[in-house]
Amino acid sequence: MSSALNRRSFLGLIGAATGGSALPLAVAPLVAQTAHSGISQLRIESVELLELHGHYTSVAGVNKQAQVNPEDVYDSLRPPEYHDNPRGDSLVKYEAVYLRIRVTGGLEGLYGPIEREPALIVQERLRPFLIGKDALGGEVLWDQMYRSDRHSRDGYYMMAISAVDNTLWDIRGKFYGVPVYRLLGGPSRDKVEMYVSALGSSLELDKVRTRALELQKQGFRYQKWFIAYGPGSGPEGMRKNVELVKTLRETLGDDTGLMFDTFSGWDQNYALEWAHQVEKYRPRWMEEVTHPEKIGSFAEMHRSTTVPIASGEHFYGRWEVQRYLEKGALSVVQADPEWCGGLTELIKIGTVCSLYDIPVIPHGHSLRAAVHAIFSQSPMTFPLGEYLAIKMQHYHHFEKNPMVVENAHISLPTGPGFDIQLDPAKIDSQKTGLQG
Per residue in 109-133, pLDDT tens? Answer: 999 999 999 999 999 999 999 999 9
Q: CB neighbours (10 Å) of residue 7?
A: 16
The helix (run of H) or strand (run of E) holding residue 213 is: helix 205-217
Contacts for 37 with CB less than 8 Å, ≥ 6 apart: none
In the DSSP assignment, the letter for residue 124 is I
How wide is the angle at C-alpha 110 spanned by C-alphas 108 and 362, nearest 5°? Answer: 140
pLDDT score, position 435: 87
Q: What is the DSSP string of 3-51?
A: HHHHHHHHHHHHHHHTTTPPPPTTTHHHHHHHHHHS----BEEEEEEEE
Q: 355-374: string of b/e by CB count within 10 Å (b at 16+)?
A: eeebbbbbbbbbbbbbbbbb
pLDDT score, position 35: 43
Contact 310, 259 (CB under 8 A): yes
Give the residue ranges of the chain where pLDDT is below 50.
1-23, 25-26, 29, 32-37
How many angstroms separate the CA atoms of 336 and 311, rounded? 11
Side-chain-facing half-sphere of 305: CA atoms under 13 Å: 32
pLDDT score, position 27: 52
pLDDT score, position 51: 98
pLDDT score, position 369: 98
Per residue in 256-312, pLDDT tens? Answer: 999 999 999 999 999 999 999 999 999 999 999 999 999 999 999 999 999 999 999
pLDDT score, position 32: 47
Classify strands 44-59 and 89-103 as parallel, antiparallel or unpaired.
Answer: antiparallel
Q: Name the 3-class secondary structure at 433.
A: coil
